[in-house]
């Protein structure tokens, strides 16, 4: 039972690579299969942390693994979506490039400051993940996302900037920091309250 969160994390890795493989092979059932798989991947992302916290196995190692697999999962799904809908990505290359650059900057800052990857799992980032998944689903189905993509972009930029602020505020690497407010409290040496359901 203690291995359920780890199994959910690795299942998300498998799901992401499977979606990418279906896209590369131009499977005739790609959309029919990829959308449900993406939703299942999202559910594993939600429940791995909840179950780990309920079972008291939410360690730093597990949270770092979760963050790393999340990155691989969404990179794989994004690449798969690009293969299917290159016109959308080409038309929005500037916006996508800015978002990816900001995401990359958060990792660069974390590695330079703490020699570790990000595992803040902030509330804003969790909410943005929901918007990102909804946007990817719309693109998968329509090869277009005129309004939701703009919301996804700006929400993504705001949450990436919050993560950067959290990283600059923290004195030592810390996983599961809900907001910048909590990061500032940690900087002052205060204890912060984390939710068993959502964080830490």
Question: For residue 163, what are the domain limits?
Answer: 86-200
Q: What three-state secondary structure class fits 69? A: helix
Same domain, 16 and 95: no
- Which ranges of 55-147 would DSSP assign to H, the alpha helix? 60-84, 86-91, 93-114, 123-142
194 and 101 share one domain: yes
Q: Note the pLDDT tens digit of each residue in 9-37.
A: 999 999 999 999 999 999 999 999 999 99
- The predicted structure's pLDDT at residue 197: 63
Residues 102 and 151 in one domain: yes
Report DSSP letters for 170-191, one per residue: -SS--S---SHHHHHHHHTT--
One domain, residues 52 and 125: no
- pLDDT 10s digits, 127-148: 999 999 999 999 999 999 999 9
**Which of 61, 84, 107 corresponds to the end of one domain?**
84
* 122 and 167 share one domain: yes
Point out the domain boundary residue: 39, 56, 84. Answer: 84
Which of residues 29, 57, 84 is at a domain's end? 84
Same domain? For 62 and 91 the reply is no
Question: What percentage of the chain reaches a pLDDT higher than 90?
Answer: 88
pLDDT reading at 200 higher than 80: no
**CB burial class (10 A; 0-12, 13-18, 19+) of residue 191?**
exposed
Pair (106, 189) in one structural domain? yes
Q: Tell me how many domains the chain contains.
A: 2
């Amino acid at each position: 039972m203690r291995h359920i969160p780890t199994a959910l994390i690795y299942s998300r890795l498998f799901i992401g690579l499977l979606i990418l493989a279906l896209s590369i092979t131009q499977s005739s059932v790609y959309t029919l299969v990829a959308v449900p798989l993406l939703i299942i991947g999202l559910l594993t992302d939600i429940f791995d942390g909840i179950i780990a916290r309920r079972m008291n196995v939410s360690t730093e190692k597990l949270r770092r693994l979760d963050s790393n697999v999340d990155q691989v999962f969404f990179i794989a799904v994004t690449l798969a979506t690009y293969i299917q809908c290159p016109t959308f990505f080409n038309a929005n290359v500037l916006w996508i490039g800015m978002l990816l650059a900001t995401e990359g900057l958060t990792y660069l800052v974390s590695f330079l400051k703490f020699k570790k990857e990000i595992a803040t799992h902030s509330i804003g980032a969790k909410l943005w993940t929901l918007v990102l998944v909804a946007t990817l689903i719309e693109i998968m189905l329509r090869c277009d996302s005129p309004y939701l993509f703009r919301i996804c972009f700006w929400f993504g930029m705001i949450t990436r900037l919050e993560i950067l602020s959290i990283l600059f505020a923290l004195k030592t690497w810390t996983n599961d920091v809900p907001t910048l407010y909590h990061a500032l409290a940690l900087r002052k040496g205060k204890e912060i309250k984390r939710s068993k359901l959502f964080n830490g």
